[in-house]
Structures are given as C-alpha cells and as structure tokens.
Structure 1
Amino acid sequence: MKNLLIWDIDGTLIQGRGIGRRAMDKAFLSLYGIEEGFKDISMAGRLDAVILNDAFNAHSITGRNTKKYFDIYCSYLKEEIDKLTSPIFAPGILLLLEELNKRDDTLCVLGTGNIENAARIKLAFHDMNKYFPTGGFGNTEAERWEIIDEARINASKLCNTVFKPENTYVIGDTPKDIECGKILNIKTVGVATGPYSPEQLQESGADYVFKDFTRYENFIDILG
C-alpha cells in the first residue's frame, strides 16, 4: 500500500444541507429544553465534542452528559436522513471513490470532526462506509490535527505499514483541514464543495485545490 487518503466528511464527501445542525439542535432541545442551542456556534471543520462543549458553556449547562446527548443526537440524525428525498453526496465523489477502490496501492480512511456513529450514519445513506475501513473521529475534545494523526495511525495498524508523508493526503473543504496537513507535514487537498472558495483554500496553503471532483481523473492524476 502506497497512498493514504484521509477524508473529511461534511462539505467534502457529502453536502448535508444542515441535517447535522438540525439534529444537534433537536437533541439539545430534547435534553435541556433550549431551542437552537447551536445557533451562534461555528461548526465547519470542528470536532463534535468541542462543538458540544461550546454549547454547554454558552448556555451554562450543568449536569452534562455527553454520551446521552450524542445518543439522542444520532437518533435525530437518522430521522433527518430518512426525510431526505435527493442525493447529498458531493459532485463526482461516488465515481472518484469507486475508482480509488479499484487501486491496490491506495487506502481511503476518514479524518472527521464527526463522532464515529454520526459519521457512519451520514455515509450509510449512499452506501459509502465500505470505502472507509477506519479513521479518526471527533468523539473527544482533541485538536483537529490529532484526529488526522489518529486516522494515520489506525491506517498504519490496519495495513501493517508506515505511510510516507509524501504519499499521505488530507482532503477537506476548510482551511482547518489544510492546517492539519501542514502541522503533520503531509500533502493537502482542498475542495470547494463546502463554505470556502477555491481562492480561500489556495490562500490557506493547500498543495492542490479543486472546485469539485466532477472531473475525478484530475484528482487521481496527483497520486501517480
């Protein structure tokens, strides 16, 4: 195995049209009686556990039960996904993943701020979990780069190999994803299918920037 691709989810693999935020708000209302608990809290490129802690602090919540909250959140997330009537995968992503899956020199894993259960629920809608056997997730209050490093470590354990930095790529739609790659000295790929433009991702220092993956062969070309 030569190439390791570490993928963000929201805005990169899927365009969820607010399903995550709605589910988080509903869970917060259910558990704490507060509407729009995440209204003024930034979510893009951040970890679920950190986002939840921000909401706890913003509303001075005592008796915090993170596990119970996330269990309720995942139930609402499933409900939100069941309501969907149109695809949420990002442009070109399914064809790209299928092509990558044919290669015996490339492994795709997740590096996401989602807790693992939420990540798997979101990807299950388009049967995408089969492409990502392991990863790093936002279950704890860690730094974003630590999640990417966790994904790299888990991938190495899975394949019993060490992936070289020059063959390891973090792929995401925010400058936070690019920053993680720089911290870990690995390649960075920005894709403008989230809230940031190609120019903003380029300015953040991404090694490669794509408007989307409609022409997926251009992405495959960078792997050699």
Structure 2
Amino acid sequence: MNLLLLWDIDGTLITSGGAGMRALQTALRDGFAIDDPLTRIDFAGRTDTWIMREVFRTFSIAPTPEHFARLFEGYAAALPAELANPHARVLPGARELVQAAKSQGAIAQGLLTGNMRRGAQVKLAHHGLWEHFAFGAFGDDSELRNDLGPHALRRAAAHHGVEFARDRVWIIGDTPHDITCARAIGARVLAVATGSSSVDQLRAHAPDAVLPDLADAAAFWKIVS
C-alpha cells in the first residue's frame, strides 16, 4: 500500500438530486414545526453538524444535544425515500474509478465527507458504492471539515497497517472546502467540477489538479499515480 485516496461524496461520487435538502426540510418541519426551503444556508462542502447548527442559528433554536439528535434522526428517516428520485445518480466515471482502485492491491481508499456516517452509508448504499469503503472520516468526527483529515489518516493506518506519506495521500472533492481540508494535513488534492464550483473557481484555490469530471480514467490515474 503506497497510495491513499480519500473521496468526498456529494458532488464528487454522487448527486442526490436534492434528496439531502428535502430530507432536512422534512426533519425541520416534523420535528420543529418550521417549514422553510433552507435556501439561505450554503450546504456545499460543509459537515452535517455544521449545517444543523446553522439551521438552529437561523431559526433561533437552542443547539442542544437533544435538538441535534431530533433533527438528525428526522433527516436520516426521510433520506431513503428522498433518494428514490430520477435525478439521484452516480457521477460520470466515479463508479469505475472506485471499483478499479479497490481491485489494485497497492491502492487504499476511504471516505472523507461532511456526511454523518449513517447518512453516508444510506447515500452510497443506495447506489451500490458503500461496500467499497472500509473506513473514512465523517461529520460525526467533527463539525469542522478541516478536522476530518487526521481521523481519516488514523483509520487508514489502522486498517492497512501502513502510515501513508502525505504526498501519497489524495483528497478528491468538488468544493474549495475540500482543498483547504487537504492542505490542513499536508495532503494533495484533486478538485473536480461536478458540484457547484466551476473549474476556474476551483483552480483559484490552487489545488494540485483540476478535472471537469471523473469520466477520463486515464487523466485521473495520471494525476494521482
């Protein structure tokens, strides 16, 4: 094992067709009697915990452990049905790359995502991708995305019995937050413009490489190998 790939989920591996937003709206309505489109909150690249805290701040709800639990449980309960929409899909090339990485003995891969672990599993299992990831760092680990990298590295080392050199660790994500998260641990970063940020917007944050999407497998492996 000499290469570690850490994948973001939303906007990188999959798009959920707005399922997460709708599930959170349902949880807020059913759990707190607030019906709101939540368009004032920037979800991209944030952790679930950060998003929930921002919801509480926006609607003047006390951010107590009980309220976090109520909102997340409502979200998790609503998510599976919301994923059953025609716009939820694996993004071009993502499935093939994840499968290829798993089949190569020298490559380790895990997740680095703002999703809570339970939400990440629901989303990826819906598309048959969860089984490819034995470890990861999740929104359960910290509210701050830049804190997630050390958790992912620790779990990668524990799972594979290898300490990965930082220049052989790649974070693959679709937002500027993924880029700063990689820099926080001295890792390299491949930004993909399959989320809400364009190639030029991502390039302005100085990632190691940018791709418009993951459809070109040869270009991907040339970058990370």
Please indicate the TM-score interval, normalised by the length of the shorter structure.
over 0.9
Partner of 1:207: 208
SS in 1 for 2:89: coil
Partner of 2:76: 74
Shift in Å at residue 44 of structure 1?
0.3
Residue identity in the other structure for 2:74 = I
Native 8 Å contact 1:50 1:140 kept in 2:
no
Partner of 2:93: 92
TM-score by length of 1: 0.95
SS in 2 for 1:50: helix
**CA distance in structure 2 between the aligned counterparts of 1:77 and 1:87, rounded to whole angstroms:** 12
1:27-38 mapped onto 2 (5 Å cutoff): 27-36=27-36, 38=38
1:1-224 mapped onto 2 (5 Å cutoff): 1-36=1-36, 38-62=38-62, 64-81=66-83, 83-85=84-86, 88-139=89-140, 141-224=142-225
140-149 or 8-17, which deviates more: 140-149
- Change in Cα spacing, 1:182 to 1:140, as seen in structure 2 (3 Å) is closer
Shift in Å at residue 183 of structure 1?
1.8
32-41 or 194-203, which deviates more: 32-41
**CA distance in structure 2 between the aligned counterparts of 1:108 and 1:206, rounded to whole angstroms:** 19
SS in 1 for 2:110: strand
What do the CA deviations read for 1:122-168 (whole angstroms, capped 9, x no partner)?
00111101111110001255321111221111111111110001100
Superposed CA RMSD in Å reads: 1.4
Native 8 Å contact 1:135 1:154 kept in 2:
yes
Native 8 Å contact 1:166 1:186 kept in 2:
yes
Residue-pair matches, total:
223
**CA distance in structure 2 between the aligned counterparts of 1:142 and 1:68, rounded to whole angstroms:** 17
**CA distance in structure 1 between the aligned counterparts of 2:185 and 2:224, rounded to whole angstroms:** 19
What do the CA deviations read for 1:3-30 (whole angstroms, capped 9, x no partner)?
1111110000001121101100110110
SS in 2 for 1:113: coil
**CA distance in structure 1 between the aligned counterparts of 2:162 and 2:97, rounded to whole angstroms:** 24
- Change in Cα spacing, 1:147 to 1:170, as seen in structure 2 (3 Å) is same
Native 8 Å contact 2:17 2:87 kept in 1:
no
**CA distance in structure 1 between the aligned counterparts of 2:172 and 2:72, rounded to whole angstroms:** 26
Native 8 Å contact 1:171 1:190 kept in 2:
yes
- Change in Cα spacing, 1:160 to 1:70, as seen in structure 2 (3 Å) is same
Give structure 1 regions of 4+ aligned residues with deviation exceeding 4 angstroms. Answer: none
**CA distance in structure 2 between the aligned counterparts of 1:61 and 1:87, rounded to whole angstroms:** 31
Shift in Å at residue 87 of structure 1?
5.2
**CA distance in structure 1 between the aligned counterparts of 2:7 and 2:15, rounded to whole angstroms:** 14
Native 8 Å contact 1:3 1:167 kept in 2:
yes
TM-score by length of 2: 0.94
**CA distance in structure 2 between the aligned counterparts of 1:223 and 1:201, rounded to whole angstroms:** 18
Shift in Å at residue 66 of structure 1?
1.4
**CA distance in structure 1 between the aligned counterparts of 2:37 and 2:198, rounded to whole angstroms:** 28
Where structure 1 has 5 or more consecutive residues not aligned to the other structure, the ranges are none
Residue identity in the other structure for 2:182 = G
61-70 or 212-221, which deviates more: 61-70
Shift in Å at residue 211 of structure 1?
0.5
144-153 or 158-167, which deviates more: 144-153
SS in 2 for 1:46: coil
What do the CA deviations read for 1:36-83 (whole angstroms, capped 9, x no partner)?
2633111100010111011111111136421232121111001101x3
SS in 1 for 2:152: helix
**CA distance in structure 2 between the aligned counterparts of 1:135 and 1:102, rounded to whole angstroms:** 18
